[in-house]
Structure formats: C-alpha cells, structure tokens
Amino acid sequence: MSGIASGKTPGAAYSHGAIGFHWLTAAIVLTIIPLGVAMGRVDPGPTQDWLYSLHESLGIVVWPIALLRLMYRFKNPPPPMQDDIPQLMKLAAELTHWALYAGLLVNPILGWLGVSTFGATINFFWLFELPSIAAKDEALSKLILWAHGWIGILMALALCAHIGGALFHHFVRKDRTMLRMLGR
Ligand code: HEM
Ligand code: HEM
C-alpha cells in the first residue's frame, strides 16, 4: 500500500537547494575517495602528483560546500522521513548522515594540516599553490595523515551503508526515500 493510500505522511521531497547540494557533494566525494586510495598505491611520478593534486583540490573545494550546505539545512530543515519507517531505521539513517557531515567538515582540514606539517603545499587545480597552514613536523604529519586516511575509509564504509540503504528503500521497501532526494 502506498503512503498516500494508507493515509500516512507520504514523505515530501527535499527542496531543490538540498538536492543540488546533495548530488554536488556526492559527485565530488565519490571521486575523492577512490583518488585517495589510488594515489598512495601508484609509483611516485607525474601520475601520482596529478592524483594528489586532484584529490587535494577537490577536498579543499568540498569543505566550503559542506559548510554552506549545513547553513542552508539550518534555515531549510529537511522534510520529515516517511512515517511508516521503523524508528531504529530512521535513527541509523540520521546517525549515518551526521557521521558523513562530520567527515566532510573534519577531513579536509586534517588533509591540509597533514600536507602542511609534511612540508608540502597544495597545487590547487594546477592554478596556484595554497599556502602551508602549519609548521613542518614530519612525525605530526604522519599521525595526522594516518587519521585522515582512516576517517576517509570510515566515510567510505558509511557510504556503503548509506547508498545500500537508499537502494534498499527504493527496491525492497519501495518507499519514497530515494524519490524525495530526486525531487519527486
Ligand atoms: C549514489 C550515491 C548516493 C545516493 C543514492 C544517496 C541517496 C540519498 C538519499 C535517498 C537521501 C535522503 C535520505 C532521507 O530521505 O532521509 C540522502 C541523504 C543524504 N546523503 Fe546521500 N546519497 C548518495 C551519496 C552521498 C554522498 C557521497 C554523501 C556525502 C559524503 C551523502 C550524504 C548525504 C547526507 C549528509 C544526507 C542527509 C541529508 C539531510 O537530510 O541533511 N550522500 N542520500
Ligand atoms: C572530504 C574530503 C576528503 C576525503 C573523504 C579524503 C579521503 C582520503 C582517503 C580515503 C585517503 C586514502 C586512505 C588510504 O588509502 O588508506 C586519503 C589520503 C590522503 N589525503 Fe585525503 N580526503 C579528503 C580531503 C583531502 C584534502 C583536502 C587533502 C589535502 C589538502 C588530502 C590529502 C590527503 C593525503 C596527503 C593523503 C595520503 C595520506 C598518506 O599518504 O597516507 N585529502 N584521503
């Protein structure tokens, strides 16, 4: 029975702004993560430099987008989830969303700090160098980049649950969760 036929809140669509922010972020983050994993595993050389520059530049760009997105969300709260979704499933989804927001805000800063303490600068889209934001300290750099890498991997795992959840809602529960993020 559809939400409307059952007389329950059918789950209103997200606003165009929220949808735009979501899919822009998704496209960038789903590029950043494989780049991050690949760049540490290829031989040093121009290809590796290219992968690093792209990973770091996209990572820097996603930070203000995430910040604007959260400010926008504060002013435009998301529509409530469809009310026949079990409480525990709603909670799991909320926790995953907040973990992703936290990763989006924290990991770019750790990345920039890690590169700075390593003694390097960021080649921002091959346009100009972004300045170092901390003094050189190789031991600290190792620690920061270790944390950065693990947070990135945890974000990837959270995204497996997030994307798996979206597909589950769409194809198994056949509810409106995916459609409302598609503006329908
Ligand atoms: C193919 C990939 C993706 C799909 C299919 C997808 C799908 C969805 C759907 C259907 C929702 C709405 C959930 C609801 O109604 O409660 C949502 C929300 C959300 N997604 Fe994704 N997503 C994807 C990728 C990503 C990525 C890469 C990120 C960020 C790293 C992300 C972060 C979020 C966040 C933070 C929300 C919560 C929005 C809010 O209510 O504040 N998503 N996603
Ligand atoms: C939301 C944004 C970001 C995400 C999700 C992310 C994710 C990742 C991931 C998954 C890895 C690979 C971890 C591994 O293979 O074990 C990685 C490595 C790395 N990232 Fe990021 N990253 C982001 C932003 C940035 C930024 C802004 C910078 C620098 C300005 C940066 C610099 C690095 C560096 C230098 C490494 C290599 C670390 C090492 O050699 O161990 N990242 N990142």
Instruction: Supply the pLDDT for residue 12.
Output: 87
- pTM metric for this prediction: 0.94
Give me the domain span that covers residue 43: 16-180
Write the pLDDT tens digit of every residue in 54-100: 999 999 999 999 999 999 999 999 999 999 999 999 999 999 999 99
| Residue 102 dihedral angles phi and psi, to the nearest 5° | -60, -45
Task: Return the pLDDT at 93.
Answer: 98
> What CATH number does the domain containing 116 carry?
1.20.950
Give the pLDDT of residue 10: 65
Task: Please count the structural domains in the chain.
Answer: 1
> Which of 54, 57, 107 most suits a substitution to test ligand 2, by most atoms within 8 Å of the C-beta?
107
| Ligand 1 site, residue 73, Cβ cutoff 6 A | yes
Q: Is residue 55 part of a domain?
A: yes
Q: Is residue 22 in some structural domain?
A: yes
Residues in contact with 68: Cβ distance below 8 Å, sequence separation at least 6, in sequence order: 21
Q: How confident is the model at residue 172 (pLDDT cuts 50, 70, 90)?
A: very high
- For ligand 1, mutation pick of 21, 107, 181, 182 (most atoms within 8 Å of CB): 181
